[in-house]
């Protein structure tokens, strides 16, 4: 009989339906509740949404402990205290709040926030500690920074803080007491001191529900006559929609019938629309605006190719969603995208200067537009990669194997389960 462990999971961000890190925290909690008795400590302001979701959930559920700082901490947060500092203080408070209860758990697992610079305060616990999957080690390519305008200095400061993280003493303490350090991408591996690399297991922090993986879509180009690309993300500098627009303008010079849909909103919306006008793209670009998360798979299947241009991302959940929909992708070959997509599933471009990268992306878009067999081959391979590597249930099985390897058990070892790289 396989032993069910008592697991304490730290998930500051944990909320269903939000996407990003709240969704990551939520998914890991429920995945591991399939195998173990999981208790999740999270913020008290997540309680209302979590309680509603728990009431309708039919399967095995984790238990939740809700904690926030006292009134003084919440007052400071409402009056400008940076989130990173509040999160730091929250972890100190959680550790004190749970000090008398840690002995009842077999294992402690820190999930969110997933920044490698703040992986919790789970040292001197007397229990195995799993950190991650952690990310945040990636920095924007330097040659893209001039494109950030007023955001250049904050982005530069962030990049310098990532590089300088080796000076933070608490990182060394956290990694020293960790039993396993799960890391989402190679950029973050390189930020972790080499003395701890023997503890590292590579695993992307996010995944895809099995129900989102669709059969290859009908060929939309056969219905509309024009090859249609889609770009989905927040309209902000690090997502580099301007790069997609420049690439599309390059491709459209050779294939005027091409179409591009931009899905999302954000602070750069007006700037990007002005950029499209400057490039004389006219009605070849459709600005869809923000859509509900549940509508994104449908929109993806109405297109022929997906363009992913984020210049700084731990992973790229929308790239997973596009591959799950069977769409071939044109993407940058760095950060999380380099982990998710392979040369068998996407046309990948190594970022260099802005203009050169835009031209290379545009040429890749032309290749996809002109070759329906290539689109089908990449799309089918991408969908299969999602099934093999990134479906949440599969990731839960790998995490369960990691738990069993680090907690001494008489039975239930899962040595035969290997995680694809």
Tell me the per-residue pLDDT of 104-121, one tens digit each, with 9 for 90 and over: 999 999 999 999 998 888
Distance CA 331, CA 314 (A): 14
- Please give the pLDDT value at position 419: 52
Q: Please state the rounded mean pLDDT for residues 151-163.
A: 91
Per-residue confidence (pLDDT) for residue 219, from 0 to 100: 63
Query: Using CA of residue 27, residue 30, residue 34, residue 37, what is the dihedral sign?
Result: positive
Confidence of residue 409 (pLDDT cuts 50, 70, 90): very low
3-state secondary structure 53-108: HHHCCCCCCCEEEEECCCHHHHHHHHCCCCHHHHHHHHHHHHHHHCCCCHHHCCEE
What share of the chain in percent tops pLDDT 70? 94
pLDDT of amino acid 82 = 86
**pLDDT at site 170:** 86
- For 8, residues 6+ apart whose C-beta sits below 8 A from its C-beta are 39, 41, 98, 102, 105, 107, 108, 109
pLDDT at 201 over 60: yes
Q: List, for residues 340-362, the tens digit of each pLDDT value.
A: 999 999 999 999 999 999 999 99
Asked if pLDDT for residue 416 goes beyond 70, the answer is no
Burial of 153 (0-12, 13-18, 19+ CB in 10 A): exposed
Sheet strand arrangement including 180-183: 63-67, 37-43, 6-11, 107-112, 129-134, 180-183, 200-202
pLDDT > 60? residue 222: no
Q: What pLDDT sits at residue 375?
A: 94
pLDDT at 6: 95
Residue pair 375/368 in contact (Cβ under 8 Å)? The answer is yes
Give, for 155, the enclosing helix (H) or strand (E).
helix 152-163
Query: For residue 348, which of 25, 363, 249, 248 has the smallest C-alpha distance?
Result: 363
Which among 218, 283, 220 is positioned nearest to 257, based on CA atoms? 283
How large a percentage of the chain has pLDDT more than 90? 71
Question: Is the per-residue pLDDT at 75 higher than 90?
Answer: no
The H or E element spanning position 305 is: strand 305-308
Mean pLDDT in residue range 52-58:
87
Q: What is the pLDDT of residue 221?
A: 63
In the 8-state DSSP scheme, what is residue 135?
Answer: B
Dig out the tokens for 313 from the structure.
Answer: 């991302």
In b/e form, how buried is each residue of 56-89, taking b as 16+ CB within 10 angstroms? eeeeeebebbebbbeeebeeebeeeeeeeebbee
Terminal Cα-to-Cα distance of the chain (whole angstroms): 30
Does position 1 have pLDDT exceeding 60, yes or no?
A: no
Higher pLDDT, 20 or 318: 318
Average pLDDT, the chain: 90
| Distance set, CA 148 to CA 137, 153, 241, 243 (Å) | 19, 8, 12, 12
- Find where tokens 């669709």 sit: 214
Residue 255 has pLDDT above 50, yes or no: yes
pLDDT at 390: 95
Q: What is the mean pLDDT of residues 196-217?
A: 88
> Which pLDDT belongs to residue 414?
45
Residue 367 to residue 300: CA distance in whole angstroms: 19
What's the rounded mean pLDDT across residues 190-218? 88
Residues 170 and 4: their CA atoms lie apart, in Å, by: 32
Taking residues 284-313, report their average pLDDT.
92
Pairwise pLDDT comparison (222 vs 75), residue with the higher score: 75
The domains located in the chain, with CATH, are 6-206+391-406 (3.40.50.2000), 210-388 (3.40.50.2000)
Q: pTM score > 0.85 for this model?
A: yes
Kindly tell me if the per-residue pLDDT of 412 is higher than 50: no
**Top-confidence residue, 32 or 99:** 32
Higher local confidence (pLDDT), 421 or 100: 100
* pLDDT over 60 at 218, yes or no: no
- pLDDT band at 369; cut points 50, 70, 90: very high
């Amino acid at each position: 009989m396989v032993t069910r462990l008592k697991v304490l999971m730290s998930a500051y961000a944990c909320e269903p339906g939000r996407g990003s890190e709240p969704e990551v925290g939520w998914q890991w909690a429920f995945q591991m509740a399939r195998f173990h008795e999981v208790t999740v400590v999270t913020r008290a302001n997540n309680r209302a949404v979590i309680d509603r979701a728990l009431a309708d959930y039919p399967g095995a559920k984790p238990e939740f402990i809700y904690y926030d700082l006292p009134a003084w901490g919440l007052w400071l947060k409402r009056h400008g205290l940076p989130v990173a500092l509040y999160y730091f203080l929250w972890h100190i408070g959680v550790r004190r709040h749970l000090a008398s209860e840690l002995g009842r758990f077999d294992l402690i697992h820190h999930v969110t926030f997933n920044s490698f610079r703040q992986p919790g305060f789970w040292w001197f616990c007397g229990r195995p500690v799993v950190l991650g999957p952690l990310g945040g080690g990636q920095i924007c390519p330097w040659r893209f920074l001039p494109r950030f305008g007023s955001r250049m200095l904050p982005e530069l400061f962030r990049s310098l803080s990532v590089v300088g993280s080796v000076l933070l003493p608490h990182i060394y303490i956290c990694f020293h007491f960790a039993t396993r350090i799960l890391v989402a991408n190679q950029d973050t591996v390189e930020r972790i001191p080499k003395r701890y690399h023997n503890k590292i297991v590579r695993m992307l922090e996010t995944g895809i529900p099995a129900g989102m993986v669709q059969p290859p879509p009908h060929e939309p180009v056969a219905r509309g006559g024009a090859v249609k690309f889609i770009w989905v993300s927040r309209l902000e500098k690090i997502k580099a929609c301007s790069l997609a627009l420049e690439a599309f303008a390059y491709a459209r010079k050779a294939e005027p019938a091409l179409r591009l849909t931009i899905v999302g909103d954000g602070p750069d919306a007006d700037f990007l629309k002005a950029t499209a006008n400057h490039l004389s793209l006219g009605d070849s670009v459709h600005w869809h605006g923000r859509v509900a998360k549940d509508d994104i798979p449908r929109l993806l299947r109405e297109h022929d190719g997906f363009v992913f241009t984020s210049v700084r991302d731990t992973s790229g959940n929308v790239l997973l969603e596009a591959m799950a929909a069977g769409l071939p992708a044109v993407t940058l070959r760095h950060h999380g995208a380099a982990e998710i997509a392979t040369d068998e599933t996407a046309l990948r471009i190594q970022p260099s200067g802005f203009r050169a990268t835009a031209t290379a992306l545009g040429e890749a878009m032309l290749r996809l537009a002109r070759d329906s067999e290539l689109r089908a081959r990449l799309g089918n391979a991408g969908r299969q990669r999602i099934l093999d590597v990134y479906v949440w249930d599969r990731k839960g099985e790998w995490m369960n194997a990691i738990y069993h390897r680090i907690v001494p058990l008489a039975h239930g070892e899962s040595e035969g389960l290997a995680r694809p790289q």
